[in-house]
Structure 1
Amino acid sequence: MDVVAQPQLLRLLTERLILRPALGGDAAQIQAYHLNNRAHLQPWQPTRPPGFYDIDSIIRRISFIEHERLAGRGLHLLMCERQSGEMIGECNFSNIVLGVFQACQLGYSLSAQAQGRGLMSEALGKAIAYVFEDLQLHRIMANYRPENERSARVLSTLGFEREGFARSYLKINGQWADHVLTALINPASC
């Protein structure tokens, strides 16, 4: 596995991407990603509070997600193109619970201009391998809105299996939305 790790540095490399935690100096790039993709991502995300796109707010979120990573409760990765270094997406493994559960929730987003090139499957394939092999989690859960056909295809390609359907599961874009519940089990832990 192409992994470069130091106590504070994690970089997962794919053919076209670098996956790495956000640093304080990434705030402007993260801001640009979210502002440029605001309309594209809005149907799939919660309504953002005032100030969400402000640099100070982004710096606070970077600090929080790094704290969660170091505490073993989450892993948030920026997806950057290898050649340009441009941020084109992000993925996060949140609510990591150890003990008898050893599971987490997966969330992700990809810029409008990067759609349709297999980049999300490439990124998540590498990130999931890291979560299963290095963090030794047993289960990754990912939920998507039924009308989000791209997410359905990505998760199916990665081997996620449908486990159920939850009505009014999350408040997305200001409305309670139904979600398809899926999970992927670490084959090495069965």
Structure 2
Amino acid sequence: MTSILSPRFDHRLVTERITLEPVSLVFSHQMLEYQIDNRKHLQPWEPLRRSDFFTLDTMRSRARAMADSMASGDALHWLMCEGDTVIGECNFTNIVRGPFLACHLGYSIDHRREGKGLMREALAASIEYVFEREGLHRIMASYRPENTRSERLLKSLGFEREGYSRAYLKINGAWADHVLTALINPAV
């Protein structure tokens, strides 16, 4: 597959059951299918989406923006794939270098694949890459208090609770509280 990414980030990660593909225009159709198939499932956890978000033009624009942020070193965006099907996303955004060496983690998975350990598998591989290849020191992740799946997932990966933030993000049209967690790279 061809990619619109710079040579800086063209790393496909392969785990036992899935492949993590760097986002590129090649996946625009699959990204759209994933968003449409999971619209209701993801709605409580994501920003409010206008109907034009669920179009091929928007997915192409989104893929371009993600690829640009990867090329500039500001983010890492992977699509979780089973064969040619996108089953989730794994994103490390707001990468800050210098003395901070940190980023934010975001992720989502197809409603039919929850509870099978696939997200844990994807995050374990991508976190290893972020720590070992990118040399980041801290990965921060937040979750809504009622999202017990995310709480368990992050704890299983070693994330520790660092705080609680009221009205932290506007999710599904309303300001929502979040639990703040972080994972520290023991090697940096």
With normalisation by structure 2, the TM-score equals 0.94
Q: What aligned pairs does 1:1-190 form with structure 2 within 5 A after superposition?
A: 7=7, 9-81=10-82, 84-189=83-188
Alignment partners' CA distance in 2, 1:176 and 1:168: 5
Question: Over residues 18-57 of structure 1, what are the superposed CA-to-partner deviations in whole Å (9 max), with x where a residue is unaligned?
Answer: 0011221211110010000000000000001341111111
- Secondary structure of residue in 2 paired with 1:187: coil
With normalisation by structure 1, the TM-score equals 0.93
Per-residue deviation at 1:9? 2.5
Alignment partners' CA distance in 2, 1:180 and 1:171: 14
Letter paired with 2:33:
A
- Secondary structure of residue in 2 paired with 1:48: coil
Question: Over residues 58-111 of structure 1, what are the superposed CA-to-partner deviations in whole Å (9 max), with x where a residue is unaligned?
Answer: 111111111110110001100002xx3311100100000000100000000000
Aligned length: 182
Letter paired with 1:49:
R
- Secondary structure of residue in 1 paired with 2:141: strand
- Secondary structure of residue in 2 paired with 1:128: helix
Alignment partners' CA distance in 2, 1:185 and 1:121: 17
Question: Over residues 168-188 of structure 1, what are the superposed CA-to-partner deviations in whole Å (9 max), with x where a residue is unaligned?
Answer: 110101111000000000010
Alignment partners' CA distance in 2, 1:85 and 1:160: 31
Unaligned segments of structure 2, at least 5 residues: 1-5
Alignment partners' CA distance in 2, 1:9 and 1:100: 26
What value does the CA root-mean-square deviation take over the aligned residues? 1.1
